[in-house]
Amino acid sequence: MAKAYFAGGCFWGVEYYFERKDGVISARSGYMGGTTKNPTYEQVCSGETGHYEVVEVTYDPKGVSYEELARFFFEIHDPTQSDGQGPDIGEQYKSVIFYSNTDEKDIAEKLIGILRRKGYNVVTKILPVTEFYLAEDYHQDYYDRNKSEPYCHLYQKRF
């Protein structure tokens, strides 16, 4: 098993799509990238902790590659929106790929290059993985529990 970390706006929608991706074992909503230990949702939303809403994707590399997951990430959110995602505006909603090693960083940079050559003004940040803090229970599987679908995210083929 392996883990990958993606921030693409509200984590509810990112989690929803990754949970349905072949090869993905689980997707969990949480926080990464900030300075506060064990932040709460309210603290992250204040914009003062420096955290992003992140989804931790646990996957089987025999069933899906990191590159396939990163490509999928770019197709389930708008990587060109610089101030958040859809109506969710703020630092915590910005687009980020967190890498665990140079291979993941190289893949993220390669995919951004491909998208830019296709005319997309990608603003996705590429940052090293830091400690992942699991979000509160009420954020996990939000759309499934509420029997609804994402309003900020939709699949759009870009590759």
Residue positions annotated with a catalytic role: 10
What's the start-to-end Cα distance of the chain, in Å?
26
109 phi, psi to nearest 5 deg: -65, -40
- 129: its two tokens: 């993985």
For residue 48, the Cα-to-chain-centroid distance in whole angstroms is 20
The two structure tokens encoding residue 158: 């870009």
